[in-house]
């Protein structure tokens, strides 16, 4: 079987069984792979060629990206082996490849204390900027989701996300009533049309606002810190991790959510001990 035939079979299978983002990953990787090896026989591909291809494609990328592409290519070969050519060996499955594209060590993020996040919000005078901060810190939204929000997406305390990062057709964000009221009032006061963006900023512009807010408090503050705070605060408040994962962060995997919950600071530990025994 030629590489071109195997790629065609794999993409057909993925489109029928996988999420949109997964299909896009396969289309990108196999498109690049096919550009080089399309007319080659699948069995003729060596481990050295696989390593050369993946190294060239992912040069300068983060280890997570490198490993993701390695796993996708390995899954492509496994699919063909399991369905069409059981006597073939997977060229990705070698000690050298597994070592080069190993899973990176998990990173424990610094979680900012609730008092710092609250102060950042309360000291932000500009209504637009404060709403953006609150949507991330109270609703667990990504900055890209906030920037894409339109009045037509607001349904009481639910915000509808079209084309979410997960690849699902739609997702829903739940926000507190007070925040929803302020958001609706802002839309009305600014006379924003139903299909217009509520926050017509670039990613760089929005990120700059958040970073400057952190400087004002003497801390390093990035957009995703606010989303992590939403998860950590909910966890400290006793919200089940399933709710944090599926409702607040909208993750497909609980293990991804656990990376957001970070280590407990000394201040947080003392506060909980006092709450329990003080």
Mean pLDDT in runs of 10 for the chain (278 residues)? Answer: 95 91 93 94 94 90 89 95 93 89 69 87 94 92 92 91 70 89 96 96 94 92 87 80 77 62 60 63
Q: Is residue 171 part of a domain?
A: yes
Distance of CA 229 to the CA centre of its chain: 15
* pLDDT recorded at residue 170: 78
In this structure, the number of other CB atoms found within 10 A of the CB of residue 177 comes to: 9
Residue of 201, 206, 149, 203 whose CA lies nearest to 173: 149
In this structure, the number of other CB atoms found within 10 A of the CB of residue 197 comes to: 14
Q: Is residue 107 part of a domain?
A: no
Which of 210-229 are b and which e, b meaning 16 or more Cβ less than 10 Å from the residue's Cβ?
Answer: beebbeeeebebebebbbbb
Q: Is residue 105 part of a domain?
A: no
- Identify whether residues 84 and 136 lie together within a single domain: no
Q: Please give the model's pTM, rounded to 2 decimal places.
A: 0.60
Question: Phi/psi at 175 (nearest 5 deg)?
Answer: -130, 155
Q: Which two tokens stand for residue 145?
A: 């989701």
Range of the domain at 11: 3-100
Domain final residue, candidates 34, 67, 100 = 100
Say how far apart CA 164 and CA 144 lie, in whole Å. Answer: 9
- Identify whether residues 68 and 130 lie together within a single domain: no
Cβ neighbourhood burial of 161 (10 Å; 0-12, 13-18, 19+): buried
């Amino acid at each position: 079987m030629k590489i071109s035939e195997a790629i065609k079979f794999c993409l057909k299978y993925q489109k029928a069984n996988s999420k949109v983002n997964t299909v896009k990953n396969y289309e990108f990787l196999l498109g690049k792979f096919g550009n080089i090896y399309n007319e080659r026989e699948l069995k003729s591909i060596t481990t050295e060629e696989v390593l050369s291809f993946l190294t060239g494609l992912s040069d300068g990328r983060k280890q997570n990206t490198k490993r993701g592409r390695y796993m996708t290519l390995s899954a492509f070969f496994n699919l063909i082996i399991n369905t069409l050519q059981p006597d073939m060996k997977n060229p990705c499955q070698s000690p050298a490849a597994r070592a080069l594209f190993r899973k990176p060590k998990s990173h424990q993020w610094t979680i900012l204390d609730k008092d710092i996040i609250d102060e950042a919000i309360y000291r932000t005078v500009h209504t637009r900027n404060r709403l953006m901060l609150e949507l991330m810190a109270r609703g667990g939204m990504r900055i890209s989701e906030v920037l894409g929000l339109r009045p037509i997406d607001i349904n009481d305390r639910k915000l509808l996300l079209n084309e979410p990062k997960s690849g699902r057709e739609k997702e829903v964000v739940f926000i507190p009533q007070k925040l929803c009221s302020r958001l609706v009032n802002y839309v009305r006061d600014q006379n924003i049309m139903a299909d217009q963006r509520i926050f017509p900023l670039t990613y760089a512009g929005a990120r700059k606002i958040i970073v400057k807010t952190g400087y004002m408090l003497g801390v390093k503050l990035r957009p995703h810190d606010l989303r992590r705070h939403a998860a950590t605060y909910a966890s400290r408040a006793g919200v089940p991790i399933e709710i944090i994962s599926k409702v607040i962060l909208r993750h497909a995997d609980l293990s991804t959510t656990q990376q957001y919950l970070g280590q407990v600071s000394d201040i947080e530990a003392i506060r909980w001990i006092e709450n329990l025994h003080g």
